[in-house]
Chain A
Amino acid sequence: MSVIQAVRPHPFRHSRYVVAAALGGVVALLVALASIANALFSGHAVLVFACGVPALALAIAGTVIGIRGLGARGQVGRSERIWAAALLLAGFILWVFVAESSWLLEQGPVTVVIASAIACLPTTSFGLFVLRRLDRNEKEPWRLMLVAVVWGAVIATTLAAWGNTLWDLFISYGLPPGPASNQSTGFSAGIVEELSKGLAVVLLYLIMRGEFDDVVDGIIYGAAVGMGFNYCESILYMSRIYVELQQMGQPGAAGVAAQWFFRQVLDLFTGHATYTAMVGAGLGIARQMPRMHQRVLAILAGFLSAMAAHMVFDAWIASAPGGLLFVVIREVVGGGAFTAVVLLILAMGTRNESRALEEHLRLEASENRGTVLPQEVELLISPSRRFWERYEVLFHRGIGGWRRLTHLRNAQLDLAMERWHRARHEIDQPLEAEELLRERVRNLRAAYLTGARPARA
């Protein structure tokens, strides 16, 4: 047994933010260049310049203010988060105009693009719901999940579109059609798209360390980015196939339905979600590895796995000929193999997380601090018991009671997670932060029992 005292601020904390800022700057520059290139080549110059540059400015401002807001508590933090949400929403709406002018609207009629977007919403939402269910112990905040999805749908697709175009121009253009061209396309998809999506998980890893606890969180964030990317890509391919089939005198709607089935049903979990989850697994494991070389190796292995999985699918599986049944089987088996690896790592991570939470909840309860009661431990370590408790409270005490109880349970789990990280020397916040968390749990308990608003810790 060892006595853990307050740790000094982590020596790498500030360099993390510098790396994150540098990466964010590179991404902003690339997206800005993409806007300018769109303006020059898409034939929608005025619209792109009018919307693209302000959209970028709004997105950057919203991200910066949002990050500050997420880190701050109290009224200031709340105000900054509202501002960030408003700026990001405005930027997103403007970007949609840019995307439509330069990309989606060139693929097909507006009605087909909109119908495709609507058709993909329920399936993608279902995918995100399943991801939340897989995150059994300490669920990630919806706001960060949505940031991940939006990055995948908006920023990663823009980066990937231009990256793939440059790859075609400099590499695939000189290759003869057939196996060489297929292989090059596979490499392009694997390398360019996984880097574009993986950047989002890297930024979350660097900036939101408090909400990026372990391999489970990495997999969930990664899969969410992949779901967002898959959403936008599905719309693109559904619109494109419609036009192609119409031009050949065949029913475009059948092609749209087939694309929807493959991208939103068959490959919903085994495609982009799996690839980026592998990047997330690498970053999640790196989050808890004690030595630098272990962290680098884990991150490298995550990216390599994602690139290889994507390359194998695009170059070897998707381009192979065959009838519908064969196509379904090869996609499920070929893509599913990598998904099975992700699920295996997720299961290992969840088991570790459960054990650690149980251990630290029991320790917290044994210290009699009024945060975790001994009789609460069994309930807190059982996701199903927590669910039924909330259900019962919702039924008897209404939505207010349900919300207060949810906040209390989440704060208790956050506290146990904080203790776990401190015990492993993985935390760069002072011990006072943990005491504040305890105070918050006590306030939330009082609020739950009295039905009043919780006092601020």
Chain B
Amino acid sequence: MQGTTPTPPGPPTPYRVPARRRDDLRLPYLTLLVVGVISLGLLGLGLDNLVAATMPWEHTNLTVKVTGVYAYDKGSGTVHGPAIKTSRTGKAFAAKVDWASLPSNLSVGAAWYSSEGTLIQSVGPSTAGSLAARHRLVPMDQRAPPDTYGLLVLHYDGGKPIEILGRTHLTVTSG
């Protein structure tokens, strides 16, 4: 126990304090402002990355029709049966894309992605004309776990996807 002896309070005296020292907070305040300015630069850099990755000035604003997703025979490389919206694990399927509706020299491709955005399987990039000439399907013949898979038809520039031209999805259930 230290310093706990009560002392009789003296008469109230005016409450005196030293002159105000606002400068105490100058250093943390200025430090935070500097960090804030750097942060603004980082956010600007992020925005620049976003614009550079999408290159809006190269966008065509075209859309392409995904005719449908069908059961796929890996051996023959063909689809069969009616269009499907769901499939089961282990069953291959493929999407039909109307490549012919796009300008023949446009660099395009298509890919299946998991719901988490992981690339599973893709075709292209190649010119829309060459894909149309080969009636190119977009197969998904790997053993995929249950999930909702998205097909994206993409416009490429310099080998990078910059624009989504069309999309569809299919749900794979266990079994």
Q: Interface of A with B (CB < 8 Å)? A: 1-4, 174-181, 183-184, 186-187, 190, 215, 244, 247-249, 278, 281-282, 285, 288-290, 294, 297-298, 300-302, 304-305, 307-309, 311-312, 315, 341, 344-345, 348-349, 352, 355-356, 359-360, 363, 367-370, 373, 375-376, 379, 389, 392-393, 396, 419, 422-425, 431, 442, 445-446, 448-449
| CA gap between A120 and B163 in the complex, in Å | 41
Is B133 in contact with chain A by the CB < 8 A criterion? no
| CA gap between A247 and B175 in the complex, in Å | 11
Contact B119 A187 (CB under 8 A): no
Contact B24 A356 (CB under 8 A): yes
| CA gap between A177 and B38 in the complex, in Å | 28
Q: Determine chain A's interface SS by DSSP, over half rule.
A: helix
CB-CB under 8 A from B12, the residues of chain A are 369
Interface residues on B, range: 35 or more
Contact A177 B119 (CB under 8 A): yes
Minimum Cβ distance to chain B for residue A336 (Å) = 15
Is B57 in contact with chain A by the CB < 8 A criterion? no
Which one of B18, B27, B32 contacts A281 once the chains associate, using CB atoms below 8 Å? B32
Minimum Cβ distance to chain B for residue A6 (Å) = 10
Minimum Cβ distance to chain B for residue A212 (Å) = 15
Q: Interface of B with A (CB < 8 Å)? A: 1-10, 12-20, 22, 24-25, 27-29, 31-33, 35-40, 42-43, 46, 49-50, 53-54, 111, 113, 116-117, 119, 145-147, 152, 154, 160-164, 174
Most A CB atoms within 10 A — which of B6, B17, B113?
B17
Contact A368 B3 (CB under 8 A): no
**When A2-B19, A183-B53, A363-B16 are in contact, do A392 and B10 touch as well, CB less than 8 Å?**
no
Contact A368 B10 (CB under 8 A): yes
CB-CB under 8 A from A431, the residues of chain B are 15
Contact A423 B54 (CB under 8 A): no
**When A248-B145, A302-B32, A375-B3 are in contact, do A307 and B10 touch as well, CB less than 8 Å?**
no
CB-CB under 8 A from A370, the residues of chain B are 6-9
CB-CB under 8 A from A175, the residues of chain B are 54, 164
Contact A180 B53 (CB under 8 A): yes
Minimum Cβ distance to chain B for residue A432 (Å) = 12
Contact A305 B24 (CB under 8 A): no
Contact A247 B9 (CB under 8 A): no
Which one of A304, A359, A360, A396 contacts B36 once the chains associate, using CB atoms below 8 Å? A304
**When A180-B53, A301-B35, A369-B10 are in contact, do A1 and B24 touch as well, CB less than 8 Å?**
no
CB-CB under 8 A from B37, the residues of chain A are 301
CB-CB under 8 A from A302, the residues of chain B are 32, 36
CB-CB under 8 A from A282, the residues of chain B are 32, 36
CB-CB under 8 A from A307, the residues of chain B are 39, 43
**When A311-B43, A312-B42 are in contact, do A289 and B25 touch as well, CB less than 8 Å?**
yes
CB-CB under 8 A from B33, the residues of chain A are 297-298, 301
Contact A176 B4 (CB under 8 A): no
Which one of B3, B4, B46, B163 contacts A183 once the chains associate, using CB atoms below 8 Å? B46
Provide 18 A-B residue pairs closer than 8 Å at the C-beta atoms, listed in order of the A residue: A1-B16, A1-B19, A3-B15, A175-B54, A175-B164, A176-B54, A176-B161, A176-B164, A184-B50, A244-B145, A247-B145, A308-B39, A312-B42, A345-B28, A363-B17, A367-B10, A419-B15, A419-B17
Contact B32 A298 (CB under 8 A): yes
Contact B25 A288 (CB under 8 A): yes
| CA gap between A349 and B26 in the complex, in Å | 11
CB-CB under 8 A from A360, the residues of chain B are 17
Minimum Cβ distance to chain B for residue A250 (Å) = 10
Which one of B9, B18, B29, B116 contacts A368 once the chains associate, using CB atoms below 8 Å? B9
Contact A177 B152 (CB under 8 A): yes
Which one of B13, B19, B160, B163 contacts A178 once the chains associate, using CB atoms below 8 Å? B160
| CA gap between A12 and B20 in the complex, in Å | 21
